[in-house]
Structure 1
Amino acid sequence: MFTDYYADLHIHIGRTWKGKPVKITGSKTLTLENILDAATSKKGLDIVGVIDCHSPEVLDEMAFLIEENKLVELAGGGLRYQKTTLIPGVEIEVNDSNCLGPLHVLAFFRSWQAMREFSKWMQNYVTNINLSTQRIACDAITLQHKVHALSGLFIPAHVFTPFKSAYGKGVKKSLAEVFDMDQIDAIELGLSSDTDMVKGISELDKYTFVTNSDAHSLGKMAREYQKIRLQEATFDELQKALHEIDGRKIIANYGLNPLLGKYHETACADCGHRTTETPCSNCGGKHLVKGVAVRIEELKDTNETSRIRPPYIHQVPLDFIPGVGPKTIQKLLSNFGTEMAVLHVITESELKEVVPTKIAALIDQGRNGKLALSGGGGGTYGKVKAE
């Protein structure tokens, strides 16, 4: 019997339980237990991939939570915290001799023990095992083989963003320049792209697409996520879904309209002005950040696609919507439980009973992709246009 689960597989840890930094740019409140508590009690996420679990102090916290029975190891892989399954993971920077520039990848493991074993191996190849997204001193294929030797999952991260991604920085034309294509379990699209944009890149046809938040704060969790059909929320079932085995699969991707992504359009690197010409008419700058939309067009090699993909549903996160601040979000959660309930279950009429009619209408338009938007670029997010 199948059930549909909501999953966000790219969430950073800002600080350890002892207050030491992991993701330097992450919020100080973004600790492992805070992430798990927010996922289960506020966001309504059934599965979370926390991608800084390699850090020794995070592993220590996981061990403590297991000992205290706050985390329960699942027979099918993963660890249960109340209503949410934790999939322990790591984000790594690769820049071997085959790369044109640094790129990020994600790896996930089915148990605390496997994550610890990988961390011990990784410690020999990085400068500081305690911090997030460390550059590894081995080639990508060696890394892939190690991940799979531990029965892990390997996913290139936010593959089109201009900086530190496979297509944005690492390769000229093909992922095969860097990776063993048979050792990729899925592709993470990133905030500035969606399924329709990339369907002309033939080498991606064989892979499932995932859409994740890359959250650096608790509030940004689930700004992108997917609905996955599984028999239970475990690592083994997730692995089957990524390879569409025995009816397990992703049935919908939910994400920002690419216009809201901060690298969607080409822009001046100095001032962020949306332009394709140099010097910049706004500041005179002579360097551009190539937009994801432009880069994807360069990579397309076909008008055909052999894969039928799940729908990619554009949603505007609650905190992007004008007039929806922390107090309004808390009011919604107090009345309806979780953000997933607000986005997927609660009717507009029910929203109007709790928030002003205009706000209720904006939330309904946002969750159905009907708000007017202005495009992002050059490192600045797009915006919802005010009426």
Structure 2
Amino acid sequence: MQRIRADLHIHTVLSPCANVDMSPVAIVQKAFASGLRIIGITDHNSTLQCPTVKKIADEYGIFTLMGAEVTSKEEIHCLTYFDSLENLQNFQDYIDRNISKIKFNPALHGLQAVLDTKNNVLEQIDYYLGTPLKVGYEEIEETVHALGGIFIPAHVDRIKFSLLSQLGYVPENIKADALEIYNQTPLVQFLRENGHVAHFSIIKNSDAHTLDSIGRHTSLFMIEKISFNEIKMALRKKFERMVITE
């Protein structure tokens, strides 16, 4: 088995809360310098920046999990990832059908820009991407899995936008591939307080909105090779694959 270092929760300049220097090129270069072999691109309620990041990351030998951090109607953040551009686009269509398009104020929230490999602006999204979808987290999970994707509730113990903050608890029977905990929470503390979900893989990521944050909090994947299916098996603790929280 290989030990592969990964940061699966990175925002680009497309996210309304990310710094303007979070371009695809800069993200990949920082990931490479940080020794990451796998990165996850998870902008708020949009997958549109993923293809460009993947194209650049491929040149650096970095595997890209393409997806989004989706906000459910309960205001729970959910990490979603897909194995192909086709399924990624299908999920983007699902987001587009279910997001309320509230006018965006760039003075408050930044660019919300889709960039190409040379940092040229291809598109600016003119509605606020931080708006919750009209569907609940359980329907989002069902949609992700119907597309063969990976579903991970984000920072489940954070004081906002999490399962714990919105529901008051982390459901034992949630149909997730893993759980992400807040990157400042010690794993031992989380499991002591939430032992009923110890059967899940527990991961940490940077939730990077700035370049300096990329790779600051990571997880180690024990897998045979780097691929979408191997990552999914590790998250699900299948066939001796596993994830170790750093």
- Superposed CA RMSD in Å reads 2.2
Taking a change above 3 Å as real, the CA distance of residues 83 and 174 of structure 1, as seen in their structure-2 partners, is closer
Give the aligned partner of residue 263 of structure 1.
Answer: none
Structure 2, unaligned stretches of length 5 or more?
A: 102-111, 113-124
- Computing the radius of gyration from Cα coordinates, the structure with the larger value is 1
Taking a change above 3 Å as real, the CA distance of residues 13 and 134 of structure 1, as seen in their structure-2 partners, is farther
Give the aligned partner of residue 7 of structure 1.
Answer: 6
* Pairing 1:31–2:23 present: yes
Q: Is the 8 A contact 1:53 1:89 kept in 2?
A: no
Give the aligned partner of residue 170 of structure 1.
Answer: 166
* Pairing 1:114–2:106 present: no
- Measured against aligned partners, the alpha-carbon deviations of 1:92-148 in whole angstroms (never above 9, x if no partner) come to 11234xxxxx22111111122211110011101013494654411012211111000
- Aligned-partner Cα distance in 1 for 2:76–2:29: 31
Taking a change above 3 Å as real, the CA distance of residues 133 and 157 of structure 1, as seen in their structure-2 partners, is farther
Taking a change above 3 Å as real, the CA distance of residues 89 and 59 of structure 1, as seen in their structure-2 partners, is closer
Q: 1:53 deviation in Å?
A: 8.5
Q: Which of the residues 137, 140, 163 maps onto 2:137?
A: 140
- Aligned-partner Cα distance in 2 for 1:210–1:59: 21
Q: Which amino acid aligns with 1:26?
A: A
Taking a change above 3 Å as real, the CA distance of residues 33 and 115 of structure 1, as seen in their structure-2 partners, is farther
Taking a change above 3 Å as real, the CA distance of residues 202 and 10 of structure 1, as seen in their structure-2 partners, is same
- Aligned-partner Cα distance in 1 for 2:142–2:39: 24
User: Secondary structure at the residue paired with 1:199?
Assistant: helix
Equivalences for residues 282-293 of structure 1 within 5 A: none
- Aligned-partner Cα distance in 2 for 1:233–1:53: 25
Count of residue pairs brought into register by the alignment: 221
Q: Which amino acid aligns with 2:25?
A: E
Give the aligned partner of residue 156 of structure 2.
Answer: 159
- Aligned-partner Cα distance in 2 for 1:81–1:88: 16
Taking a change above 3 Å as real, the CA distance of residues 91 and 53 of structure 1, as seen in their structure-2 partners, is closer
Give the aligned partner of residue 106 of structure 2.
Answer: none
Structure 1, unaligned stretches of length 5 or more?
A: 15-21, 72-79, 97-101, 255-387
- Aligned-partner Cα distance in 2 for 1:81–1:221: 19
* Pairing 1:51–2:29 present: no
Q: Which amino acid aligns with 1:155?
A: I
- Aligned-partner Cα distance in 2 for 1:195–1:247: 21
- Aligned-partner Cα distance in 2 for 1:171–1:54: 21
Give the aligned partner of residue 188 of structure 2.
Answer: 196
Structure with more relative contact order (C-alpha pairs < 8 Å, separation 6 or more) = 2
Report the TM-score, using the length of structure 1 for normalisation. 0.53
Q: Is the 8 A contact 1:107 1:153 kept in 2?
A: yes
Q: Is the 8 A contact 2:41 2:65 kept in 1?
A: yes
Q: Which of the residues 69, 72, 97 maps onto 1:94?
A: 72
Q: Which amino acid aligns with 1:120?
A: D
Equivalences for residues 361-372 of structure 1 within 5 A: none
Q: Is the 8 A contact 2:6 2:38 kept in 1?
A: yes
Q: Is the 8 A contact 1:87 1:108 kept in 2?
A: yes
- Aligned-partner Cα distance in 1 for 2:42–2:6: 13
Taking a change above 3 Å as real, the CA distance of residues 33 and 117 of structure 1, as seen in their structure-2 partners, is farther
Q: 1:35 deviation in Å?
A: 1.3
